[in-house]
Amino acid sequence: MSFWRVLKSNCGTVSMSVSLPVFYSLSFLTAVIAFLFALYLYLWVKRERVENRRIEDVSRLIAEGARTFMRREYRILAIFASVVAVIIFLLLPSPIWNGNILDNILMVIAYIAGTVLSAIAGKIGIMVATLSNGRTAEKAQHGLKDAFLIGFRGGAVMGLLVVGCSLFGVAAVLMVAGDPTILLGFSFGASSLALFAKAGGGIFTKTADVAADLTGKVELGIAEDDPRNPAVIADNVGDNVGDVAGMGADLFDSNVAAMASSLVIAFSLSDAASAIEMVFCYSILGLIASMIGIATAKVGKDGNPTRALNSSTYVTTAVYLVLTAAATALLEGFSWRIWIAAATGLLVGVVIGITTDYFTDDTKPIVKRVAKASATGPAFTILSGISYGFISAIPAMAGIAISALVAYLVCDPIGPGYAIFGIAMSAVGMLSIVGMIISNDAYGPIVDNARGLAEMGGLGEETIRVADELDSAGNTVKAVTKGFSISAAGLTVISLLGAFMSEANAALEAAGLPLIAGFDIMDPKVFFGILTGASVPALFSAMLILGVDRNAERMVSEIHRQFNSIIGLKEGNAEPDYGTCIDIATTGALKELIPAGLAAIGATIIVGFIAGPSAIGGFLLGNIVSGLLIALLMSNAGGLWDNSKKYVEAGNEGGKGSDAHKSAVIGDTVGDPFKDTAGPSINTQITVVSLTASLCSALFVAFSIF
C-alpha cells in the first residue's frame, strides 16, 4: 500500500491528532541540526594547530594512506554496486517483465542512495579522525582535559553524521518512493557498503597490524610504532579504516535496517500511521539524546576518561528514556506497550555492554585468569580465552532472547502484527544511542594514533603517559561497543525476519498461493534452511581469517624486500616505502573479501531457489544463531586476549619478556583477526543475507524447485 495513502487514510479516519505527520517531517530538520552540530565540532577541532613538524608529516601520511584505501575501496565498490544495480533493475522488487518498471527504477535509486550516503559519512568521518589524531597528541602535552575533548569530538563527527544520514536517508526514500519495500533497497545499499568497509577494512587493518608486529617486534626487536618499519603507517591507517569507517558503516547499516524493518512492519498494522510516526519520533529523540550526551562529555584535569565516556553513554540513555516517555504520554496513538519494548531493548543493550566489560576489562577477574593461564604456556592462553569467549556470548544471547520475549508479551495484546512490531521497536530502542556509541568507538583509533604520534614526535614521557591513559580508555570502550553493535544487529535481524515474511507473503498473495503463517522447525525444508544458514557465518569468518593470514604473508615478504633492498633503512638513515605496504593491504583486503561476501550471498540465493521461502526463513534463523555465537565469541575472546597481554605488560605474572608475556602475545595475535576482522564483520554478513532474502522473496516464490 502506498505510504501517502496510509498516512492520509489514517489521518482521515483513525485519528484526528495533528501530531501525526509531524515527526516524519521533523526527521529532516533533526538530521540537518545533527549535520550542523557535526560541522561545529569539525571546526572546533580544526581550529587547533599542529606545531611539531614530525607529527604533522606522519599524520599527513596516515591521512593519505586512509584516502588511498578509501579511494581504491570505493572504486571497486562502484563496480560491484553497478553490477548489483543492474541486477536490481532487472529483477527487484519483481522481474521487470512482470512488474512495474517504475518500482525497479526507484529500487535502484534507493540502493545507490544507501551506498552513497554511507560512503559520504565514512569519508568525512575518517577525514576528521585523521585530522584529530595529531592535534590530540599535541594537546596531550598540556594534560588530559583538552586532549580528551579533541579525541572525543573528532570521533563524534562520525557519530552524528551516521545517525543524521540514516534518519535523513530513510525519510527521504520513503517520501520519494512512498513504499516501504523500496526502503529495503536503501538498507541493502547501506549493507553492501558496510560489507566492504567493515570486512575489507578489517582485513586491511589486521594485515598491517600482524605484518608490522611479526617483522618489527618479533624479527627486528624494534618498538611497535618505530618509523623504520615500512608497515607502520599502514598499521595506523588500519585503525582508522577498521574502527572509524568500518564501525561507522556497520552501525549505519544496522540503524537503517532497524528503521526499515520497523517501517515495513508498521505499514501492515491496523493503526499504521501512528506506528510510522512512532518509528520516526523515537529515532529523532535518539539523535537528540545522543547530541546532548556528546555535548556533555568532558573529563576533569585529573579525571578518568573511561568514566567520562561511560557517563555520557548513561546520560544519553537516561535522556532518551525520559524524552520517549514524555512523547508517549503526550501524544495520541502512541502506546506505552511499545515504549516498554523500546526501553527494554535499550536497557538490554546497556546490560550487554556491561557484561562484555566484565569479560574484557583488566581490573576484573577474567582477564587476570587468562593472564595467569598464560604463565603455564600459550596453549592455555588460547584454551582459557576461547572458553571464556564462549561463556561471554551467553549474556548477550540471553539478553536478546529476553528482549524479544518481553516485546512480544507486552505488544501482542495491541493487535495482530504488533508483537513483531514490538521486537522491531526494541531494536530501534537499542540503536537509539548509536550516535553516542559510534562517537565512543571512533575516539579509540584517534587516541591510539595520537599515542603513536606522540612517540614518533618525541613529545616526552609525560605526554606519552597521558596519551596512554586516553588510549586505554579507548580500548575498554571498544570492547563494549563491539558487543553492543553485534547484539543490536542480532535484534535487528529478527525484525528483518519479520520483514522477510511480510515480503514473501505479499509475493505469495500476488501469485495466488497460500500464505506463510510461520516457519515451523519440524518442517524439514525449514530445518534444511536452518542448518545451511548456520554454516554461513562459520564459512564467512574462516574465509576472512584465512584471508588475513594470506595477505599478511604478502606484506611480510614486501617488508623483507624493503629491508634487503633499501640501503640505510635498518639504521634509520633512509625512509621506507610506506605506500607499497598500504597498496598491498588494500588490494589484498578487497581480493580476500569478495569471495567471502559472494559465498554468503550465493548460499542464500541457492537455498532460496532450491527450497523456497520457508527454507529461507530457517536459513535466516540459523544464520542469526550461529552468527551471534561466533561473532560474540570472537570479539570478546579477542578483547580479552588483548587486555590480558596489556595486563601482563603492566608488570603482572612476570611482566614484559616473561614466558607469560610470550604466551599472552600469541593470544593477542590470534585475537587480532578475531576481534577486528571476523567477529564484527559477521553482523554485516547477517544483515546482507537477510536483506538479500527479503529483496529476492518474490523470485523465490516464483522460481523455487521444491
- Looking at residues 156 to 215 of the shown chain, list those that interact with a second copy (rule: CB under 8 A): 214
- DSSP 8-class letter at 431: G
Using the contact rule CB under 8 A, the part of the chain among 78-86, 129-137, 405-413, 463-471 near a second copy is 405-413
Taking residue 76's Cβ as centre, other Cβ atoms within 10 Å add up to: 17
- Kindly tell me which of 95 and 377 has the beta carbon lying closer to a second copy: 377
Using the contact rule CB under 8 A, the part of the chain among 158-166, 188-196, 419-427, 645-653 near a second copy is 419-427
Using the contact rule CB under 8 A, the part of the chain among 141-149, 455-463, 545-553, 650-658 near a second copy is 545-553
What residues between 663 and 692 interact with a second copy by CB under 8 A? 666, 669-670, 673
* Count of residues making up the chain: 706
- Kindly tell me which of 145 and 369 has the beta carbon lying closer to a second copy: 369
- DSSP 8-class letter at 512: T
Q: Is 648 in the site for a second copy (CB under 8 A)?
A: no
- Kindly tell me which of 28 and 527 has the beta carbon lying closer to a second copy: 527
- Kindly tell me which of 224 and 468 has the beta carbon lying closer to a second copy: 224
Q: Which residues, including other chains, have CB under 8 Å from residue 650's CB and lie 6 or more apart?
A: 362
Q: Is 304 in the site for a second copy (CB under 8 A)?
A: no
* Three-class secondary structure assignment of 257-320: HHHHHHHHHHCCCCCHHHHHHHHHHHHHHHHHHHHHHHHHCCCCCCCCHHHHHHHHHHHHHHHH
- DSSP 8-class letter at 516: P
- Kindly tell me which of 464 and 633 has the beta carbon lying closer to a second copy: 633
Q: Which of 32, 402, 511, 513 binds a second copy (CB under 8 A)?
A: 402
The nearest distance, CB 50 to a second copy, in angstroms, is 36
Residue 165: half-sphere exposure toward Cβ, Cα within 13 Å: 29
The nearest distance, CB 90 to a second copy, in angstroms, is 30
Q: What is the DSSP string of 107-170?
A: HHHHHHHHHHHHHHHHHHHHHHHHHHHHHHHHHGGG-HHHHHHHHHHHHHHHHHHHHHHHHHHH
- Interface pattern 216-245 for a second copy (x via CB under 8 A): --x---------------------------
What residues between 560 and 619 interact with a second copy by CB under 8 A? 611, 617-618
Q: Which three cell numbers stand for residue 589?
A: 583486503
What residues between 360 and 399 interact with a second copy by CB under 8 A? 373, 376-380, 382-384, 386-388, 390-391, 393-394, 397-398
The nearest distance, CB 472 to a second copy, in angstroms, is 23
Residue type, 438: I
- Kindly tell me which of 257 and 393 has the beta carbon lying closer to a second copy: 393
Q: Which residues, including other chains, have CB under 8 Å from residue 109's CB and lie 6 or more apart?
A: 176
Spell out the alpha helix ranges (H) of 361-460: 365-376, 378-411, 418-430, 434-456
Q: What does the alpha-carbon distance between residue 285 and residue 514 come to, in Å, rounded to a whole number?
A: 40
- Kindly tell me which of 468 and 553 has the beta carbon lying closer to a second copy: 553
Q: What does the alpha-carbon distance between residue 45 and residue 272 come to, in Å, rounded to a whole number?
A: 44
CB 634 within 8 A of CB 547: no
Q: Which of 18, 102, 517, 567 binds a second copy (CB under 8 A)?
A: 517
Q: Which three cell numbers stand for residue 450?
A: 595520537
The nearest distance, CB 558 to a second copy, in angstroms, is 15
- Kindly tell me which of 474 and 673 has the beta carbon lying closer to a second copy: 673
The nearest distance, CB 665 to a second copy, in angstroms, is 8
Q: What does the alpha-carbon distance between residue 513 and residue 454 come to, in Å, rounded to a whole number?
A: 67
Taking residue 336's Cβ as centre, other Cβ atoms within 10 Å add up to: 12
What residues between 612 and 631 interact with a second copy by CB under 8 A? 617-618, 621-622, 625-626, 628-630
Please, what is the angle between helix 272-296 and helix 247-266, to 10°? 150
- Kindly tell me which of 446 and 530 has the beta carbon lying closer to a second copy: 530
What residues between 114 and 143 interact with a second copy by CB under 8 A? none
Residue type, 64: E
Using the contact rule CB under 8 A, the part of the chain among 193-201, 450-458, 511-519, 695-703 near a second copy is 511-519
Query: Cell 584516502 sits at which residue?
Result: 67
- Kindly tell me which of 249 and 621 has the beta carbon lying closer to a second copy: 621
- Kindly tell me which of 174 and 493 has the beta carbon lying closer to a second copy: 493
Q: Which of 15, 68, 311, 535 binds a second copy (CB under 8 A)?
A: 535
- Kindly tell me which of 84 and 493 has the beta carbon lying closer to a second copy: 493
- Kindly tell me which of 219 and 462 has the beta carbon lying closer to a second copy: 219
Q: Is 423 in the site for a second copy (CB under 8 A)?
A: yes
What residues between 476 and 505 interact with a second copy by CB under 8 A? 494, 497-498, 501
The nearest distance, CB 523 to a second copy, in angstroms, is 7
Q: What does the alpha-carbon distance between residue 248 and residue 525 come to, in Å, rounded to a whole number?
A: 37
Q: Which of 33, 331, 401, 594 binds a second copy (CB under 8 A)?
A: 401
Using the contact rule CB under 8 A, the part of the chain among 74-82, 128-136, 401-409, 433-441 near a second copy is 401-409
Q: What does the alpha-carbon distance between residue 24 and residue 208 come to, in Å, rounded to a whole number?
A: 44
The nearest distance, CB 626 to a second copy, in angstroms, is 6
- Kindly tell me which of 76 and 539 has the beta carbon lying closer to a second copy: 539
CB 471 within 8 A of CB 305: no
Residue 300: half-sphere exposure toward Cβ, Cα within 13 Å: 5
- Interface pattern 317-346 for a second copy (x via CB under 8 A): ------------------------------
* Three-class secondary structure assignment of 630-690: HHHHHHHHHHHHHHHHHHHHCCHHHCCCCHHHHHHHHHHHHHHHHHHHHHHHHHHHHHHHH
